[in-house]
Amino acid sequence: DDGGLLTAIIPELAPLKTCAQNGYHQFDAFEHTLQAFGFLETLLHVPEKQVPAGHFLRHQPPSIRRRPLLKYAALLHDIGKPGTRTVDEAGRAHFYNHEKESADLAQGIHQRLRLSKRQQSYADFIIRHHLKPLSLFTLFQKTRLSQKAVNRFFLKCGHLSGDLLTHAVADAFGKGDPENAAAFAAFADTLHKAYAGSFLPIKNLPQLLSGDDLIR
């Protein structure tokens, strides 16, 4: 970026540099993106610097094959913020539906960079759903998180649950509030363990009744 190459390749990142954020962020949108990207590098390569022993990122990190795409998605996850920024009467900035706008904008970048359809689908999924783990955490903090909501998350994300949670942890640390980010990282670890230990064993049970049974 210092040499001008980053925004020459991805000009959609340039508007982030003048996009001020709200009280949940210490940085503007561009600096937050770089912070999140940097924390993702740490979580993928030296997770012991960021998360405690026993955390899923120290034992079950995203696959090496998908890591470049996960970092690519992290770079683009907030490009929709400038176009969705509004300010309320109290002077607070909001970015409603920025995750969808980011994913839509990123589709043009995917095609320009000649990503395969599988690569595009993966990056789109991470960007489009990157707020879902945070939404669950907000419900958890308000003691309103239901098992039904958790199951819906697992059904939607499937085997990419861990990748999405990894991105969300990096995103949380990139906001500049380490205490809240550590609390979210612990929540993400609990979710990941619930997926592997509770959800998958039930989901993988053989069907009690199939369509063929009904026909017979």
Closest listed residue to residue 74, CA positions, set 3, 16, 114: 16
HSE-CB at 199 with a 13 A cutoff on CA atoms is 21
* Helix H or strand E encompassing 180: helix 178-194
- Give yes or no for a contact between 37 and 71, defined as CB atoms under 8 angstroms apart: yes
pLDDT value for 27: 94
Confidence (pLDDT) at 31: 97
Q: In whole angstroms, how far apart are CA 146 and each of 34, 36, 206?
A: 33, 28, 25
**Model pLDDT, residue 29:** 96
Angle at CA 140, nearest 5°, toward 148 and 104?
A: 75
Whole-number Å distance between alpha carbons of 190 and 77: 24
Query: Phi and psi (nearest 5°) for 114?
Result: 60, 40
* pTM score of the predicted model: 0.94
Q: Which residues pair with 121 in a beta bridge?
A: none
Tell me the pLDDT of the chain (216 aa) as tens digits.
999 999 999 999 999 999 999 887 889 999 999 999 999 999 999 999 999 999 999 999 999 999 999 999 999 999 999 999 999 999 999 999 999 999 999 999 999 999 999 999 999 999 999 999 999 999 999 999 999 999 999 999 999 999 999 999 999 999 999 999 999 999 999 999 999 999 999 989 988 998 999 999
Q: Write a three-state SS string for the chain.
A: CCCCHHHHHCHHHHHHHHCCCCCCCCCCHHHHHHHHHHHHHHHHHCHHHCCCCCCHHHHCCCCCCCHHHHHHHHHHCCCCHHHHCEECCCCCEECCCHHHHHHHHHHHHHHHCCCCHHHHHHHHHHHHCCCHHHHHHHHHHCCCCCHHHHHHHHHHHHHHHHHHHHHHHHHHHCCCCHHHHHHHHHHHHHHHHHHHHHHHHHHCCCCCCCHHHHHC
Residue 22: its pLDDT value, please? 87
Residue 88: strand, helix, or coil: coil
- Characterise 102 by phi-psi region: left (phi > 0), alpha (psi -120 to 50), beta (else): alpha
Residue 25 has what pLDDT? 85
